[in-house]
Chain A
Amino acid sequence: MYGLGLIKGLGITLKNILFLQRRNTTQYPDRKASIIDLAKLDNKNFISYAFTNPMKTLKSMMGMIVISDKVDQHPRFRGEEFSWYEERCTGCASCAKFCPLGIIKIVTDQTGKNYAEGQNYDIETFDIDIGRCMFCGLCVEACPYDALHMGSGFEEGQYKRNDLVIDVERLKKAEKKPSTWFRPQLEQKDDYSPFDEEIAWDKVGRHQKPSKKDLKNKWIRK
């Protein structure tokens, strides 16, 4: 019969308004906390919470209490703030070569320091222009020594375009919270989450710092 479909549709929308838990907006960066949220933070029943904290209850009803949630993000998330480990980097510039946009610039030391076998070049310039970066992660995939990792942040807005260029100093100073994108060894660590910990350089690679012998076998003889 005509009209039944219309009424069925009304039923569906009614179902959706009645089951409020279906609401799935993630509010970012923060959201107005209701009493229930505050009580949950305090591990309390919201009625008893309202009695014990009347001031906060009133404030939350006025929408004056703001809490910020962690945005649900997987460790593989390809974020900004590249994590770069100076100790692992040999300055081979594979990342620069593989970048589809050519936004990585590497200059190694010209003076002849650390030129011996098994030593790493000093990196003088390592600029990543994240203003043009599309976060494809190919540079990370290309790095043979696991020195470069995608980061996990995404709040890198700047007022000047030049500030978007991550230079070597910033890379050195930055908190090392690498994403597990193309780094299976980080994934094998149980419960690893890039938000919590800063990871030391000897933990992030597939292997320890290559020995002289290794290097000879791997890169010179072949």
Chain B
Amino acid sequence: MISFNTLNLFLVDLLSFLPDKLVFTISGLIMSVAICTFLIGLGSVYTWFERRVIARFQNRSGPNRWGPFGILQPIADAVKLLIKEDIIPATADKMVFIAAPIIFLCTTLLVYAFLPLGIDSQLGNINVALLFVLGITSVNALSVFMAGWASRNKYATLGAIRAVAMLISYEVPMAISLMGIVMVSQSLSLVGIVNAQSNIPFIILQPLGAITFMIAAIAEMSRAPFDMIESESELIGGYITEYAGMKFAVFQLSEFLAPIFTASLFTVLFLGGSNPLKFLEFLPIPGILWFASKSFVITAILLWFRSTWPRLRIDQIMGFAWKVLMPAAILNTLLVGLELVFIRDNYILQIIINMLIFVVFIYLIANILGQKRLKLKEPVPSELANMDA
């Protein structure tokens, strides 16, 4: 089976007449350029996919004019954005204004450096890849704030303020919810985590952690119902209000890459990455296809959420992070820790306990948050003016 590593070895063989360090650099460069190009292509195809799917959710057709099923639409969009005038507001801080989209795109692409897309299919394997991913995603908050602040636009600034508050709050439960995985797999390397799931994917072992991570990740990439940062109906575009042309395209591209990235990360962390599903193991499907199909399902579910639910208010979003996700993440960590001490090898019992606690927790939180608001009062006609009386 062709994996990244075999390709890499082939490249190294090809370049073996050069000094060792140069060979390493050139082959690495070629591989990373290939991955980046592939990802950018994937991102543009994803824009088409998202528009098509959401259109179908809404009984529309979606883009269908260019190419079969409108698949060439992203190219048309890109050309249109490329030839647009590149406007920089007169009062904007030019350097920061230009740097923001570049940083945004770079951080999004950098995540893929250590993501195992299949067996032996990653650009690099470092032992703290998970930390790296968490760290590099936090840089997004910086670039969003740079964009908002440099625009000198009140909407953009408001969006940036929201972004910083929200992204940083959701970082915390997201990181803590991953602690359970790290404790079980005893590794911060993503390859190690995937290998640890060869029997049971972590979504079954730690449902509470999985759902906490999922919600936090949706908020991190600011998708519905947490799309507070660029909430169209409130802040027009949030931090991208003043951007036009190619810079806007870069922002859009990285934003459309975010669901793909979230889905791949979720696949790696909780769905067992490139491991095949247990009951379909006999099928001769390569790992990278397993990875792709699992990510695809996650992106589709994200789209489903996006097309169904309205958006929460800023205070509710922040409250949700600290009042619900935070306890859930801590509870998950505590639970996994206790289980590791007492019933380390009894997976069945662990699954049963975790599932039970998951259901009870969701039920409790739902009741604490929900009951009071759900009751509708019985209307009583006012005595001030009543046409029946």
Interface residues of A (CB under 8 A from B): 1-3, 6, 9-10, 12-14, 16-17, 20, 22-25, 27, 31-32, 61-63
Given contacts A63-B64, A63-B70, contact A17 B56 (CB under 8 A): yes
Does B126 sit at the interface, judged by CB under 8 A? no
By secondary structure, the B interface counts as: helix
B367 touches A22 (CB 8 A): no
Q: Is the CB of B56 within 8 A of A27?
A: no
Given contacts A1-B370, A23-B60, A63-B70, 19 further A-B contacts (CB under 8 A): A1-B363, A1-B366, A1-B367, A2-B365, A2-B366, A2-B374, A9-B309, A10-B304, A12-B308, A16-B56, A16-B58, A23-B56, A23-B59, A23-B61, A25-B60, A61-B68, A62-B67, A63-B64, A63-B68
What are 17 A-B contacts defined by CB distance under 8 Å?
A: A2-B365, A2-B367, A6-B308, A9-B308, A10-B305, A12-B308, A16-B59, A17-B53, A17-B57, A22-B59, A23-B60, A23-B61, A25-B61, A62-B67, A62-B68, A63-B64, A63-B68
Which residues from A are CB-within-8-Å of B307? 13
Residue contact B309 to A3, C-beta cutoff 8 Å: no
Contact A32 B64 (CB under 8 A): yes
- Please report the C-alpha to C-alpha distance between residue A17 and residue B370 in the assembled complex, in whole angstroms: 29
Contact B304–A13 (Cβ < 8 Å): yes
Q: How many A-B residue pairs have CB under 8 A?
A: 56
Q: How far is the CB of A145 from chain B (nearest CB, A)?
A: 46
How far is A14 from B374 in the complex, measured between Cα atoms in Å? 24
A63 lies within 8 A of B56 (CB): no
List A contacts of B70 (CB < 8 A).
63
Q: In whole angstroms, what is the CA distance A17 to B65 when docked?
A: 20
Which B residues lie at the A interface, using CB under 8 A? 53, 56-61, 64-65, 67-70, 304-305, 307-309, 362-363, 365-367, 369-371, 374
Which of A6, A17, A63 is within 8 Å of B69, CB to CB? A63
For A12, the chain B residues whose CB sits under 8 A away are: 308
Within 8 Å CB of A16, what residues of B?
A: 56-59
When distances are taken between beta carbons in the complex, the residues of chain A under 8 Å from B370 are 1-3
Residues of A near B56 (CB, < 8 A) are 16-17, 20, 23
Residues of A contacting B64 in the complex (Cβ-Cβ under 8 angstroms): 31-32, 63
Q: Are B367's CB and A13's CB within 8 A?
A: no
Report A-chain residues with C-beta under 8 Å of the C-beta of B69.
63
> B65: nearest residue on chain A (CB-CB)?
A32
Chain A residues positioned under 8 Å from B369 (CB to CB): 2
Closest to B365 in A: A2
Contacts of B304 in A (CB 8 A): 10, 13-14
In the assembled complex, which residues on chain A have CB atoms less than 8 Å from the CB atom of B53?
Answer: 17
| Minimum CB distance partner of B370 in chain A | A2
Contact B68 A3 (CB under 8 A): no
Q: What residues of B have a CB within 8 angstroms of the CB of A23 in the complex?
A: 56, 59-61
A14 to B56, CA, bound (A): 10
CA distance A27 to B55 in the complex (A): 14
Q: Which are the 8 A-B pairs with shortest beta-carbon distances?
A: A2-B370, A2-B366, A63-B68, A13-B308, A25-B61, A62-B68, A17-B56, A9-B308
Output the least CB separation between B201 and chain A (Å). Answer: 23
Interface centre among B307, B308, B362, B365 (most CB of A within 10 A): B308
